[in-house]
Amino acid sequence: MDAATLLYQGLVGLNVAMSLWLVAAGLTFAFGVLGILNFAHGSLYMLGAYLGFTFYGSLDLDFWLALPLAAVTVGLLGVLLERFFFRPIYHLDEAYHLILTFGFVLILADAVRIGWGGVFLIPPLPSGLAGTVRILGRGFSVYNLFVIAAGLAVAVALWLLLDRTWWGRKVRATASDREMASTLGIDTHRLFSVVFGLAAAIAGLGGALSIPVQVVTPGVGTAIIIEAFIITVIGGLGNLSGAFVGALIVGLATAYGILFFPAIELFLVYLIMALVLLFRPQGLFSGR
């Protein structure tokens, strides 16, 4: 196998990683701040894809308008979910967080069936991003380059937001000590709503971004959430930069696994997840 093949597969892995990162980012962010591991996060991604289809595919809005619209709509739904369903259960055992959000997995799977029917949907590729470029002597999708760029952009934006703004400081303060933050006059209720809305919006964005290259069906939510869990775990639950690296690991393991170890590719990611949990439960790259 020559170097070009290896490199090209690495680029494909990067694309897989960035698609997954867009799902895992919000999941990790919400868990880091709110302490809720949201089973329904994949379902919010799915909802983003359906809304993306409606705005861009059915209503024929511009793709660049459809993306933020889908993200914002899912974000608002996230705010409602947080306000009415999660707030009453923060004090409960984490088991109940998982179970409650699992309930929403079931609800949303049928809700989109009612809204959009059971047949899968896919709109045409947006015209500016439909082409193919030559990389390493082979074709590579322009749209996939765009997804890679979008994933990186979300990573940078989140980092700037959390690291460089006053609001980011408040979020970090609340994440590390909720009561202390409250005492210091931070409106944690409001903060939680915004954080969860933002997390949901990122999921919605990821879903809407997927719609020109992946069909959306009512089964997408459950298919994608486990991969997001794996990434969140590898990165250390709640650790955003860890999750970014986790996405890279899973993306590359998937791409190279299919190339080199097709027989155990399915097994491989769960093995990585278990090993990390056993030996580095704080995540692979956490100093703690």
Q: Which of 94, 163, 177, 187 binds another protein (CB under 8 A)?
A: 94
In which residue are the tokens 């170890």 written?
261
Closest CA to 25 of 165, 205, 149, 190: 205
Which CB sits closer to another protein, 168 or 258? 258
Q: Residue 128 interacts with another protein (CB under 8 A)? A: no
- How many residues bind another protein, per CB under 8 A? 85
- Residue 3 is a binding residue for another protein (CB under 8 A): no
Give the contact letters, 214-243, x = binds to another protein (CB under 8 A), - = no.
xx-xxxx-xxx-x--xx--x---x------
Buried b (16+ CB within 10 A) or exposed e, 214-251: eebbbebbbebbebbbbbbbbbbbbbbbbbbbbbbbbb
Residue 110 vs 187, nearer CB to another protein:
110
Q: Reduce the DSSP state of residue 133 to 3 states and report it.
A: strand
Decide: is 98 part of the binding site for another protein (CB under 8 A): yes
Question: Residue 170 or 255: which CB sits closer to another protein?
Answer: 255
The single residue among 58, 59, 110, 189 that binds another protein, judged by CB under 8 A, is 110
Nearer to another protein, 12 or 170 (CB): 12
Residues 130-169 interacting with another protein (rule: CB under 8 A): 130, 132, 138-144
Closest CA to 233 of 17, 22, 78, 27: 27
Write the interaction track for another protein spanning residues 17-36; mark x where CB under 8 A is met and - where it is not: --x-----------------
Please count the helices (runs of H) and the strands (runs of E) in the chain. Answer: 11, 2
CA dist., res. 206 & res. 47, Å (int): 10
Q: Measuring CA to CA, which residue among 216, 232, 226 is closest to residue 47?
A: 216
Residue 165 C-beta: closest distance to another protein, Å: 29
218, 17 contact by CB (below 8 A): no
Site for another protein, residues 263 to 282, rule: CB under 8 A: 263-264, 266-267, 270-271, 273-274, 277-278, 281
Is 171 one of the binding residues for another protein (CB under 8 A)? no
Least Å distance between CB 186 and another protein? 21
Backbone angle region of 144, left / alpha / beta, with phi > 0 → left and psi within -120 to 50 → alpha: alpha
Find, among 65, 85, 105, the residue nearest to 218 by Cα.
105
| C-alpha span between 166 and 178 (Å, rounded) | 17
Using CB under 8 A, pick the residue from 172, 258, 285, 286 that binds another protein: 258
Residue from 95, 185, 287, 288 in contact with another protein (CB under 8 A) = 95
